[in-house]
């Protein structure tokens, strides 16, 4: 999966920003208090796609939801239903657990993904702007 995450970073034109290691992913998924979950798509015993997700919470709906951090299928295995199958599995997780939402972000330039998401009934939430604190700004905020 780590290899695929790095492939995803390259696909999203930001390979230098991807720092994930096997040990980090192992701890996040299988450590004493896991807060990250994952599903994989396999062909012939080889992982060719994945969905990594964690729980979020909607105060307005009063329930948890799933935030899909990353969905990726190797380019040569796309258009065979693997991405749809991964999303369907996450939708089943939501329904079975009584979660209200399955949501994710997509890069504005990724028209292929946007078209796919719209084809399954997902709606863009373009009235919201994403904010992020990282690195020095995060440190400054923490130490105030």
- Contact predicate 86/66, CB 8 Å: no
Q: How far apart are CA 125 and CA 140, in angstroms?
A: 30
Q: How far apart are CA 95 and CA 98, in angstroms?
A: 5
Q: How far apart are CA 62 and CA 75, in angstroms?
A: 38
Q: Which residues are catalytic?
A: 117
* Alpha helices for 12-144 (secondary structure H): 22-30, 82-97, 111-119, 135-143
């Amino acid at each position: 999966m780590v290899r695929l995450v790095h492939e995803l970073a390259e696909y999203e034109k930001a390979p230098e920003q991807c720092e994930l290691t096997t040990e980090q992913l192992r701890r996040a998924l299988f450590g004493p208090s896991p807060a990250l979950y994952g599903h994989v798509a396999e062909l012939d015993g080889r992982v060719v796609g994945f969905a990594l997700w964690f729980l979020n919470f909607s105060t307005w709906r009063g329930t948890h939801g799933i935030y899909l951090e990353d969905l990726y299928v190797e380019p040569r295995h796309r258009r065979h239903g693997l991405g749809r199958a991964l999303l369907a599995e996450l939708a089943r997780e939501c329904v079975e657990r009584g979660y209200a939402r399955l949501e994710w972000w997509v890069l504005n330039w990724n028209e292929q993904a946007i078209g796919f998401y719209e084809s399954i009934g997902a709606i863009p939430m373009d009235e919201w702007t994403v904010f992020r604190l990282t690195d020095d700004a995060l440190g400054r905020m923490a130490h105030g």
